Chain A
Amino acid sequence: MTVDSKPAAARTLYDKIWDAHVVDRQPDGTCLLYIDRHLVHEVTSPQAFEGLRMTGRTVRAPERTIAVPDHNVPTTWDREQGIDNEESRIQVEALDRNAREFGVVYYPVNDIRQGIVHIVGPEQGWTLPGMTVVCGDSHTATHGAFGALAHGIGTSEVEHVLATQTLIQKKSKNMKVEVTGRLAPGVTAKDVVLAIIGKTGTGGGTGHVIEYCGEAIRGLSMEGRMTVCNMAIEGGARAGLIAPDETTFAYVKGRPHAPKGAQWEAAVAWWKTLFSDDDAQWDKVVTLRGEDIAPTVTWGTSPEDALPITATVPAPEDFTGGKVEAARRSLDYMDLTPGTPLTDIAIDAVFIGSCTNGRIEDLRAAADVLRGRTLAPGVRGMVVPGSGLVRAQAEEEGLDRVFKDAGFEWRLAGCSMCLGMNPDQLAPGERCAATSNRNFEGRQGYKGRTHLMSPAMAAAAGVAGHLVDIRAFAAEMA
């Protein structure tokens, strides 16, 4: 272990966290990496627990393993009575049984702390700077906001981590995404990450771990940083991270599983060493000017189909290579005509929630837009807090009343319409302004159409009945 050793050469933040977790290194560079936190949900874990059972293996570190059902759970207020869909019920019951049988930390569906696994982990202080965090879920990248090395894994690897608390890994390349300067009013973390993906493409980060840095990133709250890191995977990077700083420490301090007393002091002392050295080597560098980023939305069926809200729907001929045909397919699926101003796109539904934008600041931003306003005729809206505690906080602040007065449904915590594994889905042809992370075909429901954007932009679109520029919104509604 190299926690206290002097660096031999300039290293990136990713290098430092990696070095501190290497258990074993083979001559070809294949490493066994120790995993500090393993988050588990009901969809990608049943086959892994079954594998343990069949081989007579146990969970090596149940105290580092945190399970919570989120993908399948209903978000309606009657869910205490059970889950109607039999397959969903069986999957949640399997997690319940596995969590208890193997003795891992568990937040069952009716626990106030239940929620989307990537919101629960940070909220409870399980996620800390410098850690390795994995979960059978690609949005595990979220935890990188704390300066942790966090990424999604498949079910076979879930089983591997359960059994050994390690992962077989080869090191990724280092990619720096710097966002300089300041963000303009109305521009949020979501706009930043959509703009980044719009620039780099969904394959731009493949094979890399991204470190987000620069003044605009530094200026984000922890919740904003989580939004940015959450979508590292949409840019192709399994992990995205941000060096921890005073904003990070202030967020972590006092959380249930954060270190206390002398251990807190020792932890902060180490965390303060977690940054990329000035002369660290990068395999790829991308720079954006914060001032240039506009409120951003997606028009197509890939997260890279992101444009400033002031733009128009592109034509297939605007692209090259395989993207020409992909764009043609997207336009057909989305039923959009090239040249249409994005602000002319009428919507049928608004979804506010997900591990990308289901935290309290997201709900506040949406509520600020909605206060004293209502959804346009024919538009339905749903707000799904990211956790039971986010919901309780929002209710304490009266945000639930703002949403309900505006005509939104106010729901219980879960992944919900981000991927529609539970009954929260779009109908075929329905078009949604969504704060989630993927606009893939069928993602939010069979033939459903998704436009990704920030919570404020989604709320404003709901009021206007079409996509709008949040900066012009106040004037338009006056």
Chain B
Amino acid sequence: MDKFTTLTGIAAPMPLVNIDTDMIIPKQFLKTIQRSGLGVNLFDEMRYDRDGNELPDFVLNQPAYRQAEIIVAGDNFGCGSSREHAPWALLDFGIRCVISTSFADIFFNNCFKNGILPVVLPQEAVDALMEDARKGANARMTVDLENQTVTTSDGVSFAFEVDPFRKHCLLNGLDDIGLTMEKAPAIQSFESQMAQARPWV
């Protein structure tokens, strides 16, 4: 997993609420057995017509936002399925940070496993960042994980909360399976106790 420290980039405004995982990556692209290559199909049904032509109104098709690395979104971003293809598609497109008032739990979790930072901020802050994002390619937003701030192109900063363990893993690009494997003795011990207490499991 790539580290996430500080990101300065273009933010695409997507004010729609309840952007679901089927919108982020429709089911026909879940048939892959790889993690990579999904960026071209990110938001596929919003982004292309049936013949594969780009729909010019869609934000990521507009010249200003084709290189976006941040999305500022409406409430409850990522609701729906557990498909990790959603963060894989975002990452493959180049998105490293999504900012919203709220995220669906599973999607939120999946982001951290892939070096994407989901930032939760109050409505007023998201509204301000949405306005900043609407300014286009010349307005670059900065997300600083170490200091837990998002700063607009005008220099207005908003502080955000992040779980310390997840922050640590993101800052250092840590693979948490390796960390858990170091606790194998504790797992072994739990299993022995469970075999006594709940042998039917």
Binding site for B on A (CB under 8 A): 1, 3-4, 23-24, 26, 28, 30, 32, 34, 36, 43-44, 46-47, 50-51, 55, 57, 60, 71-72, 85, 87-88, 90-91, 94, 128, 130-131, 136-138, 140, 151-157, 159-160, 163-166, 168, 170, 172, 202-203, 206-207, 233, 236-238, 259, 263-264, 266-267, 270, 302, 304, 321-323, 325-326, 329, 419-421, 428, 438, 440-443, 446
Contacts and interface: CB of A to CB of B under 8 A. Distances in A.
Interface stretch (B2-10, B57-65, B103-111, B149-157): B103-111
B41 interface: no
B94 interface: no
A325 B190 contact: no
A154 B106 contact: yes
Interface string B9-52: 00000011110101100111011111100000000010000100
B55 interface: no
B84 interface: yes
B106 A3 contact: no
B142 interface: no
A441 B22 contact: yes
Contact of B177 (A43, A164, A172, A446): A164
Contacts, number: 196
B180 interface: yes
Interface in B167-201: 176-177, 180-181, 183-184, 186-187, 190-191, 193-194, 197-201
A168 B80 CA distance: 21
A85 B27 CA distance: 14
18 contacts: A23-B187, A24-B186, A28-B163, A36-B201, A46-B33, A90-B33, A152-B82, A155-B35, A159-B177, A160-B180, A166-B183, A203-B18, A203-B76, A236-B79, A321-B75, A326-B18, A441-B23, A442-B26
Given A88-B31, A440-B80, A441-B22, A32 B180 contact: yes
A329 B181 CA distance: 47
B113 interface: yes
Contacts of B180: 32, 160, 163-164, 166, 168
Nearest to A30: B165
Interface residues of B, number: 57
- Please give me the 5 A-B residue pairs with the lowest Cβ-Cβ distance, nearest first: A259-B200, A156-B113, A322-B17, A152-B82, A87-B31
B83 interface: yes
Contacts of B15: 322, 325
B194 A34 contact: yes
Contacts of B31: 43, 72, 85, 87-88, 90-91, 421
A142 to B, nearest CB: 13
Contact of B16 (A1, A238, A267, A325): A325
Interface of B: 15-18, 20, 22-23, 26-28, 30-35, 45, 50, 74-76, 79-84, 87, 102-106, 109-110, 113-114, 163-165, 176-177, 180-181, 183-184, 186-187, 190-191, 193-194, 197-201
A443 B22 contact: yes
Given A421-B28, A442-B45, A156 B16 contact: no
Contacts of A24: 183, 186
A136 B186 CA distance: 25
Contacts of B191: 34, 165
A156 B114 contact: yes
A60 B102 CA distance: 35
B83 to A, nearest CB: 7
Contacts of B103: 206
Given A72-B31, A156-B113, 12 more contacts: A1-B197, A28-B165, A32-B180, A43-B31, A87-B32, A130-B198, A136-B82, A153-B106, A236-B104, A428-B50, A438-B80, A440-B22
Contacts of B23: 440-442
B123 to A, nearest CB: 8
Contact of A137 (B81, B163, B165): B81
